[in-house]
Amino acid sequence: MMNSTAINYQISPLERLTYWAEVKGNDVYLTQPLADGSVEELTWAQVDDQARRMAQYLRSLNLPEHSNIILLGKNSAHWIVADLAIWMAGHVSVPLYATLSAESARYVMDHCEAQLLIVGKMGGQDDNWQQIRAVLPEGLPAVALPFAPQGDDFQYQQQWSEIMTHCSPLQQVDERDPEALATIIYTSGTTGKPKGVMHCFRSLCAPSMVTQELWHTGSDDRMLSYLPLAHIAERVAVEIPSLMFGFQLFFNHSLETFPQDLQRARPTRFFTVPRLWGKFYQAVCAKISPAKQKVLFALPVIGKQLKQKILRQLGLDCVRAGLTGAAPLAADIINWYRTLGLDLLEVFGMTENAATSHSTRPGDYVSGYVGTPLPGVTCVIADNGEVLTHSPGQMLGYYKNPQATAESYTADGLFHTGDRGELDSEGRLRITGRVKELFKTSKGKYIAPVPIENRLASSPLLEVVCVTGPGQPQPFVLAMLSPGVSQDEQALSAELGKLLDSVNAQLEEHERLDYMVVTRDPWTIESGMLTPTMKLRRDKIEEVYLGFADQWREQGRKVIWH
């Protein structure tokens, strides 16, 4: 493991790449699964060489200094190489989600004045390539990485294979100032236009530094990269620490191959969203009922063997740091993993602070809390309940939007997170909702939807829930069923009615849910109901459904199917 004094905020990912290429150049860094089931492995020396060749090509284009270059595609080994090449050439990477809507993609490319488009793994059924392709700015040159869509009359300026063959490696990589702009990450935008969050090399590296001792990060770690690299969390939890500490990354080929890809990686650090932790749990419970698990786990020898077997079959038996974030994870699921011997750590942060804010500590999990501030983080609760922070990972500001940047800070330099929260006596933070998500019923009572949604989300029956009802006598909940749940409406209505009664019994009278609406139409990124990071777009959901509220209330039923 690297000594904590061997690296500091001033060292960039490019310097670390050079270092690892020199000290263990023949060791595998990136493992990319292929369609035929085989894998392509890139060593540290090969990644360094390929990044330098791509950087030399970018230099040959004579783009303006510090040009913004769009990086579009699903996670792959060459996405990482391209990101490094952009930095080596002195430019700025602007990653786009593969599932981004055409409207948002066009807005980002225009707003950042993109000089070049690098296309990676795209063209499948689970991305938006055809729609994005149709709105590309006229004259924007494009370069194809491996796995980029081909043969559909789309003209690339250059192919990756040609660049690797004809370009020599860039010999002199200019030292990048730690405060130099490295990337612009456009927020997924639950409301309004996306904002371009500017991060420098210092803020991108800060998360690795402040969590190294907490998670015992070292060069012997392994991670699977499958959450979008266009999002800050995957960048600072996976890409950057792999470079800073020299550990191996594995990639996911497709949704269908995810179990095999996870088994191949056998990660020592695994970061994912609550939805996947929940699906793992539900898959095990479908094979071994919770009641049977309880009996078997209590047996000294058999219980220990069964717990190890479950983790091994999930591909999680080597995990030392299991991380969950982006949304709350039900306490009973966290406790289930702890029973297996995997201590899940909740993390809390946002794009603007490079996801560097709070984390639970090993052995210090308290239900409902996201942990205490990470080293170097300041956290204050404002008079209106808003969480205010300052972080080593703090952004440089919003791109071309100095007014929004200024408005996002208090007079004494604390950042307005927009989240409402509470601190306990030990400094642990509980998120109680969003400042702007409060709504008022027709009785004049304010409702904070998130705490109620968190209670409902603990049910394995529900995939996504949205508590709403502005202007109604009582709030109600819209819900989408979890995949694989029985479609027997009569039986499910009885179960969901019990869930509603159980949650209402824990709420104040003005918060109690009048009814539940189960929507048959899926909420997806493509329909605009969810952001690319799977957060609710409340304005879109309410635009579609609130018009039915009066007739739903008049039905007088506890569970309504729509």
The band of 10, judged by pLDDT with boundaries at 50, 70 and 90, is low
Q: 3-state DSSP call for residue 464? A: strand
Burial 345-373 (b: 16+ CB within 10 A, else e): bbbbbbbbbbbbbbbbeeeebeeebbbbb
pLDDT at 275 over 70: yes
Q: Please list the helix, strand and coil fractions of the chain in percent, rounded to the nearest 5, in that order.
A: 35, 20, 40
Average predicted confidence (pLDDT) for the chain: 90
Q: What class is the 438-561 domain?
A: alpha beta
Q: Distance between CA atoms of 243 and 29, rounded to whole angstroms?
A: 9
For the stretch 377-389, pLDDT in tens is 999 999 989 999 9
Q: 3-state DSSP call for residue 93? A: strand
The band of 407, judged by pLDDT with boundaries at 50, 70 and 90, is very high
The band of 248, judged by pLDDT with boundaries at 50, 70 and 90, is very high
The predicted pLDDT at position 189 comes to: 55
The predicted model scores a pTM of 0.84
Q: Which helix (H) or strand (E) holds 389?
A: strand 386-390
Q: 3-state DSSP call for residue 333? A: helix
Q: Could you tell me which residues come within 8 angstroms of residue 141 by beta carbon, excluding any fewer than 6 positions away?
A: 61, 116, 117, 157
For the stretch 21-52, pLDDT in tens is 999 999 999 999 999 999 999 999 999 999 99
Percent of the chain residues topping a pLDDT of 90: 66
Where along the chain do the CATH 3.40.50.12780 domains lie? Answer: 260-435
pLDDT at 8 over 90: no
Nearest CA among 311, 99, 321 for reference residue 216: 321
Residue 537 in tokens: 């777009």
> What dotted CATH number matches 260-435?
3.40.50.12780
Residue 98 in tokens: 């593969």
Nearest CA among 412, 558, 400 for reference residue 479: 558
The predicted pLDDT at position 5 comes to: 37
The band of 7, judged by pLDDT with boundaries at 50, 70 and 90, is very low
Q: What class is the 23-242 domain?
A: alpha beta
What is the tally of helices (H) and strands (E) in the chain?
A: 19, 27
Q: Distance between CA atoms of 248 and 466, rounded to whole angstroms?
A: 39
The band of 6, judged by pLDDT with boundaries at 50, 70 and 90, is very low
pLDDT at 534 over 80: no
For the stretch 449-503, pLDDT in tens is 888 988 888 788 888 899 999 889 899 999 998 877 877 888 899 999 999 999 9
The band of 521, judged by pLDDT with boundaries at 50, 70 and 90, is confident
Q: Is 131 exposed, middle or buried (0-12, 13-18, 19+ CB in 10 A)?
A: middle
The 3-class SS string of 100-139 reads CCHHHHHHHHHHCCCCEEEECECCCCCCCHHHHHHCCCCC
Where along the chain do the CATH 3.40.50.980 domains lie? Answer: 23-242
